Amino acid sequence: MERTLSIIKPDAVKKNVIGKIIDRFENNGLRVVSIKKILLSEVIAGNFYAIHKERPFFNDLVRFMTSGSVVVIVLEGENAVKKNRELMGDTDPKKAIKGTIRADFAESIDANAVHGSDSLENAKNEIAFFFSQAEIQ
């Protein structure tokens, strides 16, 4: 059993497809351990994406992630990290395989519907970034 962090990004929240995206997780062996809808501040979004600070798209990414509410979710299941990444599809929705979340619900690389941890170690850190111990019992 693994845990991973998913974020439903502002574009998908605005499209009213929170339930449809969670359906994909639940239909593919992942379970919601904890979930909350929040508005990220610039500081929180910047810290979360600190790894991308030097990338040319960093400011746009922070602006986008703070442009509306997001839904932060802890998912659990067998191979949850890899499974979630497969369900998400390619970072660029235009390259994502049909049937993946990004292919079906996103339009562009900067507004691409979901975030997902890319390793077990990052998943642990990202879950701890957003959730207290009591929230993920």
The SS3 assignment for 124 reads helix
Give which of Mg ion, ligand IDP, none residue 110 binds (C-beta under 5 to 8 Å, depending on kind): ligand IDP
- Residue 119: φ, ψ to 5°: -155, 165
Least distance to Mg ion, CB of residue 137, Å: 27
Active site includes 52?
no
Residues composing the chain: 137
Give which of ligand IDP, Mg ion, none residue 109 binds (C-beta under 5 to 8 Å, depending on kind): ligand IDP
Least distance to ligand IDP, CB of residue 111, Å: 7
DSSP for residue 9: -
List the catalytic residue out of 3, 9, 102, 115: 115
Q: Are 108 and 46 in contact (CB under 8 A)?
A: no
Each residue 18-57 as x (binds ligand IDP by CB under 6 A) or -, in order, gives ----------------------------------x----x
Least distance to ligand IDP, CB of residue 136, Å: 22
Strand ranges across the sheet with 31-38 = 31-38, 70-77, 2-8, 114-116
CA angle 83-84-90, nearest 5°?
A: 105
CA angle 53-37-41, nearest 5°?
A: 35
Based on the shown chain and the rule CB under 6 A, indicate whether residue 129 belongs to the binding site for ligand IDP.
Answer: no
Based on the shown chain and the rule CB under 6 A, indicate whether residue 118 belongs to the binding site for ligand IDP.
Answer: yes
Q: Which is nearer to Mg ion, 41 or 91 (CB)?
A: 91
Q: Please identify every residue annotated as catalytic.
A: 115
